[in-house]
Amino acid sequence: QVRLVASGGGLVKPGGSLRLSCAASGFTFSDYYMAWIRQAPGKGLEWVSYITTTGITIYYADSVKGRFTISRDNAKNSLYLQMNSLRAEDTAVYYCARDGGATISFDYWSQGTLVTVSS
Amino acid sequence: QSVLTQPPSASGTPGQRVTVSCSGSSSNIGSNTVSWYQQLPGAAPKLLIYNNNQRPSGVSDRFSGSKSGTSASLAITGLQSEDEADYYCAAWDDSLTVLFGGGTKLTVL
């Protein structure tokens, strides 16, 4: 069965860095676009970044552009999010999600990993 | 970046039909498909509708989606207590971003 397991969250000081990972199993990872989506405490969903199958095409939300880097390793069935220059407003639960093939249809989601940016 | 506009709350009694709206613009809903997600308390979101009106395998046929122009709607028929959740719409925007609606909290009275 399809499984996405996100990890790497934690407490980090403003200006610090963190790297999130998402381990995929149960499907051919290299066939699917993937995304990171976050949810601040008590708030709605916010798309963060999106990567195509080969990683050649990548998109970012304006709020993270220049600070976050999405990447994938198809050989390891893994998705990553390198987060630099973290700010308090980046505090959120981060989900990785698979795009099922239609235009923006996130059909499988990981459990969330909590990132807290605080001094 | 623009957002998709949803009512913050909706409610209904068991057995009722409720709808949740999602308003966008020509650069998102007007030119791309809409998906809908259900998020139960403490859980990850779940895909309910994709391509405006398609249901993934396993999603109850009590859930349906529609789109007209720059707006979309999610309808839930035969409302049940377990439908109490937050609902989000999403769409690609031609500015090369993914947009989510602000979410609608559905209460079953």
pLDDT, tens digit (0-9, with 9 covering 90-100), for B17-67: 999 999 999 999 999 999 999 999 999 999 999 999 999 999 999 999 999
| Residues of A with Cβ-Cβ distance to B29 under 8 angstroms | none
Q: B99 — contact with chain A (CB < 8 Å)?
A: yes
Residue B8 · residue B14 · CB < 8 Å: no
pLDDT, tens digit (0-9, with 9 covering 90-100), for A27-42: 999 999 999 999 999 9
Query: Is pLDDT of B103 > 90?
Result: yes
pLDDT, tens digit (0-9, with 9 covering 90-100), for A10-68: 999 999 999 999 999 999 999 999 999 999 999 999 999 999 999 999 999 999 999 99
Give the DSSP per-residue string, A68-99.
Answer: EEEEEETTTTEEEEEE-S--GGG-EEEEEEEE
B51 → closest Cβ in A35, A47, A105: A105
Residue type, A45: L
Local structure of residue A27 (DSSP, 8 states): S
Residue A1 · residue A107 · CB < 8 Å: no
| Residues of B with Cβ-Cβ distance to A100 under 8 angstroms | 47, 50, 56
Q: Predicted confidence band at A104 (pLDDT cuts at 50, 70, 90)?
A: confident
Q: Which two tokens stand for residue A17?
A: 């860095």
Q: Which two tokens stand for residue B17?
A: 């039909």
Position B1 scores a pLDDT of 46
Q: Which two tokens stand for residue A61?
A: 């939300």
